[in-house]
Amino acid sequence: MSTSSVPDSADLLTTATLASRLKADVLAEALPYIRRFHNKTIVIKYGGNAMTDERLQRSFAHDVVMLKLVGLKPVVVHGGGPQIDAALQRVGKQSTFIQGMRVTDAETVEVVEWVLGGQVQQDIVMMINEAGGKAVGLTGKDGGLIQARKKLMPSKENPGELIDIGYVGEISQVEPAVVKALQDDQFIPVISPIGFGEDGMAYNINADLVAGKMAEVLGAEKLLMMTNIPGVMDKAGNLLTGLSAREIHAMFEDGTISGGMLPKLSSALEAASNGVNSVHIVDGRVEHCLLLEILTDRGVGTMIRAG
């Protein structure tokens, strides 16, 4: 048998040296970003494949704990659309969406509250804790965090008409004291997008909207929204690595942005216009996408600025 393909000790040493140098280069590249973002709040909207793929789940938890350990203040706001769909199917209900928003009757909102505030949230908390962090789950009820009112959707077919889509809410006020207290005590807040009205009823709120508003209220340095696509695409399917407010408005007008991307981009733009330094739509299918986006020169999505 030929041994020509078997590497000798010198080859192995060279490979090990190159790998070590690469790791050193990555660490050196991260240092200025760690220094720049030290003690800054980073809000992360966690959703998409990263919530359902075990490999990506571990990657996400590792990244969040790593950011906390090097001195940043991550806050996680999670979605849970696939999990809600699965739970509704088990009780014989079909999901309906209008302009990217889930129509939510009284029975549906009970399922949503149980899935998001219970099953999904606790899975994320345990995952982060197992990775070495200290996560605490919150809903809008905790400390009066998210106060909500009923959201009425404007009809596209009949301008001027408003559509009642049930117990779907919009944010009337965010009281961030409980989040800040957890951050100051070295915990990682994990927030479910459930608000509560003056009547005590729960309201299902789009997680992108909650993440955007949370970033504004907390004065976050960055807002990162994880998706199942490379980022924002143009009509030809090309990735747009940077977008301004004017460009986003033009894409709304010509229909380039539609469906579930509408609330995501609307929230991103509002956050960027209200003090969040930068908003990133990142590809959650890429392992360690949070570290790549925050601590290296290589982006993995689209950056949005107000200017």
> Which residue positions form the known binding site for substrate?
80-81, 102, 204
**Pair of tokens at residue 105:** 């009757």
Q: Can you give the length of the chain in residues?
A: 307
Helix (H, G, I), strand (E, B) or coil at 114: helix
Residues that constitute the known binding site: 80-81, 102, 204
Residue 140's CB: how many other CB atoms inside 10 A?
26
Four-CA torsion 74, 126, 65, 215, nearest 10 degrees: -10
Inter-CA distances, 276 with 47, 147, 233, Å: 20, 21, 22
The H-assigned helical ranges of the chain are 9-37, 54-69, 81-90, 106-114, 121-130, 177-184, 207-218, 245-253, 261-273, 289-295
Cβ contact 64:224 at 8 Å = no
From the list 189, 217, 224, the residue with the least C-alpha distance to 73 is 189
